Amino acid sequence: MLLSKTRNRWPGASASLLLGCLLFVASPRCEAQNLVPNPSFEQIDSCPGIPPVLGFLPNARPQHWYSASGSPDYFSACEDSVASVPYNVFGYQEAFDGQAYTGMATFLTDEYREMAAVELLSPLITGETYYASFYANATHGGIQPFDIGCSNIGILFTVDPYEGEYNMPDFGLRNYAQVYSANVITDTLGWTLVSGSFVADSAYRYMVIGNHFDNAHTDTTFIGPDPSGNYYGLAYTLVDQICVSPDPEGCPMATGVIELSGLSDGIFPNPVRDELHAFFGEKVIGEITVVDLLGRSVWAGRGDGFDHLVLTVLNWAKGQYILNWIGKGGRRSFRFVIVE
């Protein structure tokens, strides 16, 4: 959606958020394992036309996908307009895979978010571990005033569908997502791989992509002023190549080398079997705790002055955990999964 039309939910231009699995002709394994239909947004009924070009309306969105909140946007090279690829209203950005991607507002001052949703090809199995990944890009340099990158871009799985329509309430912010980026996405040139794993606690059938955290729980980094030299504090994110799979090799996942290279904060490895490394990116203030998804304390220790923690989790129960800590910016958390 165009920023000036945000409150009215009219179609406009927002940065694309997209999650996707690598689909190569020579490697059908990934495609067979991916539970996300149309993961790189290449499949469309017809090339989006004017009007409308933006906003995820029926004639301006990829097959199977719909809006869960606000008006995310679809960009495709088939249309020479403000929603084309690689040139569009947000600047210049090649697709990571194919000739299309999706974008959405991920941080606005009034908690407004845009989210895209899709029904999975088959429901998740309760108790099973799943692996998910996508590629994200922070927009900057176009005619829209988006000048920061933000954290928490990710995937939330739901049992029931929620399709946002004009004048309907937005998909609520949970301050939770099964897979998301704890790091701020700031790369405006390339694509950043976001990946993780989780244990399904329900038979989820739908997936919603966006920033599911409120502003108080979202970190931001200034990228640069808009073309007029103004500062707004707004973020828009592009996404491409989304993947969800029960196979750890079914989706592109960040490896130890990638995660540790230039790592400022985050969890490694994730999922983990025996030894977990937590990089805080700053000096911890006070206590560090680990709880399970029911909020039960699993581990606690003092972390004053620490910027890195190593935990032996070999004898811990398989499942998902939350590591909580306090830094200069307030309370923070990392999520990780223990597998056998």
Q: Does domain 256-338 have CATH number 3.20.20.70?
A: no
Assigned token pair, 260:
């540790």
Structural contact between residues 43 and 78, judged by C-beta atoms closer than 8 angstroms? no
Cα angle value 193/146/48 (rounded, 5°): 75
Q: For residue 55, what pLDDT is reported?
A: 80
Question: DSSP letter string over 188-213?
Answer: SSS-EEEEEEEE-SS---EEEEEE-S
pLDDT, tens digit only, all 340 positions of the chain: 555 434 333 333 333 333 333 333 333 444 448 999 999 999 987 787 665 567 887 778 899 999 999 889 999 998 778 888 988 888 888 899 999 999 999 999 889 999 999 999 999 999 999 999 999 999 987 888 888 999 999 999 999 887 655 555 567 898 999 999 989 998 888 899 999 999 999 999 999 999 999 999 999 988 887 666 777 889 999 999 999 999 988 998 874 323 333 344 677 777 788 888 888 877 888 889 998 867 788 999 987 788 888 999 999 998 878 888 877 656 677 778 787 7
Structural contact between residues 116 and 207, judged by C-beta atoms closer than 8 angstroms? no
Contacts of 289 (CB under 8 A, 6+ apart): 297, 299, 300, 323, 324, 325
Q: For residue 299, what pLDDT is reported?
A: 94
Structural contact between residues 148 and 225, judged by C-beta atoms closer than 8 angstroms? no
Q: For residue 52, what pLDDT is reported?
A: 55
Distance (Å, whole) CA 74 – CA 190: 19
Q: Does domain 3-245 have CATH number 2.60.120.260?
A: yes
Burial class (CB in 10 A: 0-12, 13-18, 19+), 141: middle
pTM above 0.85, yes or no: no
Q: For residue 226, what pLDDT is reported?
A: 66
Distance (Å, whole) CA 189 – CA 224: 14
Identical fold for domains 3-245 and 256-338, yes or no, is no
Domain spans, the chain? 3-245, 256-338
